[in-house]
Chain A
Amino acid sequence: MREYEIVYIFRSTLTPEEVDQKLARYHEAVSEAGGGEVTAVVHWGRRKLAYPVSKQKNGYYLVARFTSGPDGLSALERLLRLEGDVLRFLIVLAEGELSVASPPMDGEGDAEGEAADGQDAEGEGGEDESDDDESADEDGSGDDESADEDAGEDESGDDDSGNDDAGADGGSEDDGGEDDTEDEADSPVEEAE
């Protein structure tokens, strides 16, 4: 039994709820086939892809950690390959701590976090939800500042999610500037010798 890390890229048109539903299915399949359990789930939310994937320009990113025997992996991979709403996924061995504050998202980062909280409050059951809870919280409080890229047409997805109180829209209004290329300015490297 080893611990793995998986990054999903879902179609950005999915709402966080829909993503969670799918996720529950996948993770159930893993634990069924491989034993083990999900140890962490972090929603990154919608983010611009560095290049189009399946003609999509944006994707909904989600990182999870889980333990599994070897059979769980092949079961999960088979399931995911058949899933049209998963643009890409990557399963690697988990290394170090899962950085919760990683989302280099667009302006929607905060909205995404709140949305996740909202749905946790609704409580969909399942043991992985508790992990999701805390990770999503930190996610929201993490760095929301990075306003890279457009808050494009898909923001309708967030509306349903924040149905209790979360002002999911507020965050998604602002469209920031461009994308990743902005960082080039900082010196890539300390001077070599």
Chain B
Amino acid sequence: MPIRKPCRFCARDGGPVDYKDDRVLEKFLSDRGKILPRRATGNCAKCQRKVALAIKRARYLALLPYIRGYTD
């Protein structure tokens, strides 16, 4: 069992995740705009929660889409 790599936010500083930085948050969205699960992102639980909250704030501010690629 390899030693687990610290997740990217813990590795950075473990500080708050900025909901205004849509370019970072973008990386945690699927092509449909859904939040990627931890198993896909490698985030620790704590950081995943921060990321999820940040994404939801960014969505409200129309920095990120709620959904992508949907046409009826």
As a 0/1 sequence over residues 1 to 18 of chain A, the CB contacts with chain B under 8 angstroms (1 = contact) are 000000101000000000
Instruction: Number of B interface residues at 8 Å Cβ cutoff, please give it.
Output: 33
Spell out B's residues near A (CB within 8 Å): 2, 4-5, 8, 15-16, 18-23, 26-29, 31, 36, 38-42, 57, 59-66, 68
**Residues of chain A contacted by B21 (CB below 8 angstroms):** 99, 102, 104
Assess the B20–A180 pair: CB atoms within 8 A. no
From DSSP, what is the main secondary structure of chain A's interface residues? Answer: mixed
A-B contact pairs, 11 of them (CB 8 A): A95-B15, A96-B18, A99-B18, A102-B18, A104-B22, A183-B27, A188-B28, A188-B41, A191-B42, A192-B38, A192-B39
Assess the B62–A188 pair: CB atoms within 8 A. no
Assess the A51–B62 pair: CB atoms within 8 A. yes
**Residues of chain A contacted by B22 (CB below 8 angstroms):** 104, 180
Assess the B62–A192 pair: CB atoms within 8 A. no
Assess the A51–B65 pair: CB atoms within 8 A. yes
Contact A192 B61, CB 8 Å, known A95-B16, A96-B16, A99-B21: no
Q: Among residues 34 to 65 in chain A, which have CB atoms less than 8 Å away from a CB atom of chain B?
A: 49-51, 53, 59, 61, 63
**Residues of chain A contacted by B42 (CB below 8 angstroms):** 189-193
Contact A90 B60, CB 8 Å, known A104-B22, A188-B29, A192-B41: yes
Assess the A9–B62 pair: CB atoms within 8 A. yes
A104 to B29, CA, bound (A): 17
Residue of A nearest to B21 (CB): A102
CB proximity of B34 to chain A, nearest CB, Å:
12
Assess the A92–B57 pair: CB atoms within 8 A. yes
**Residues of chain A contacted by B23 (CB below 8 angstroms):** 104, 183
Q: Determine whether A184 belongs to the interface, using a CB cutoff of 8 Å to chain B.
A: yes
Contact A51 B57, CB 8 Å, known A186-B27, A188-B41, A190-B8: no
Partner of A189, one of B20, B27, B60, B66: B27
Q: Determine whether A27 belongs to the interface, using a CB cutoff of 8 Å to chain B.
A: no
**Residues of chain B contacted by A92 (CB below 8 angstroms):** 19, 57
